[in-house]
Chains A and B, each alone.
Chain A
Amino acid sequence: GEDVEQSLFLSVREGDSSVINCTYTDSSSTYLYWYKQEPGAGLQLLTYIFSNMDMKQDQRLTVLLNKKDKHLSLRIADTQTGDSAIYFCAESRGSASKIIFGSGTRLSIRP
C-alpha cells in the first residue's frame, strides 16, 4: 500500500537547523516531495527529488533520500520565524500521478 509517515511537531530555536523526517512505504515511488502550508495560504511546493538521487540542495534547503530504508528528510539551515508552517512529505509514482501526502509536521520557531 501507499503510506507516508512523519512526526507531528518540531520546535527549534531561531538560527538553528531544522530537520524533518519522513518514511514512506511505496517502493514504486518515483518522486518525493516537500510541501509547505502556512495558515490561510495555499500548498506550496518547496522542493522535490527524483528517486534515483540521494541528495538535493537548494539554498537553505537540503533533501536527503535513503531509498533502501524509504526515508526522506528535509533540513532547513538557519531557521527563521518565516519558516513556521506545516511541512508535508509526499510521494508519487509519476509526476502526473496522484500525490500521497503525510499528515504534516508543524514547525514552530523559538526566539
Chain B
Amino acid sequence: GAGVSQTPSNKVTEKGKYVELRCDPISGHTALYWYRQSLGQGPEFLIYFQGTGAADDSGLPNDRFFAVRPEGSVSTLKIQRTERGDSAVYLCASSLVGGRRFYNEQFFGPGTRLTVL
C-alpha cells in the first residue's frame, strides 16, 4: 500500500500483560514517529526515529514503554506491564527527511486502538 500501515488495528489486553504494536512506514521514509491519542485529546508525541536510532524519545512516559526500528523501516512499540491508563489509540507517522527539502510532511497511519482491561 501507499500509506502508513499499523497492526493490529485493535488490541485488547489485560492489565499487567505485554503488548507489541507494529508500524510499517511509507517505503523510503527515513523518519518514523509514534504518538498516543487518549480519548478526547490530541495526539501526544512519544518517540521519533531517524533511520535506526531514536532521535528524540522525550515523550515516552516511563520505562515500561520501549520502541525499536532495527532496520530503519518497520518499527515496534513495546509496552510492558500494561496499565488501564495505557488505553489509547497509538498513532504512527512517517516522513521523508533529508536532502534539500524545505518541508517534510508527517503522514499518519490509521492507528492501533489499545484497550487494557
Contacts and interface: CB of A to CB of B under 8 A. Distances in A.
Interface of A: 4, 31, 41-45, 48, 88, 90, 95-104
A103 B41 CA distance: 5
A104 B105 contact: no
A104 B42 contact: yes
Interface string B53-74: 0001011000000000000000
A4 B41 CA distance: 12
Given A31-B103, A42-B108, 10 more contacts: A42-B109, A48-B103, A95-B103, A95-B106, A96-B48, A96-B104, A99-B33, A100-B45, A101-B42, A102-B42
Contact of A98 (B56, B104, B105): B56
Contacts of B104: 95-96
A95 B105 contact: yes
19 contacts: A41-B110, A42-B109, A43-B43, A43-B108, A44-B108, A95-B97, A95-B103, A95-B104, A96-B31, A96-B50, A97-B56, A98-B45, A98-B56, A98-B58, A98-B59, A101-B42, A101-B43, A102-B42, A104-B40
A4 B45 CA distance: 13
B79 interface: no
Interface of B: 31, 33, 35, 40-45, 48, 50, 56, 58-59, 91, 95, 97, 102-106, 108-111
B105 A45 contact: yes
Contacts of B42: 4, 88, 90, 101-104
Contacts of A97: 48, 56
A43 B110 CA distance: 8
B95 to A, nearest CB: 7
Contacts of A96: 31, 48, 50, 95, 97, 104
Nearest to A90: B42
B113 to A, nearest CB: 11
Nearest to B55: A96
Nearest to A96: B97
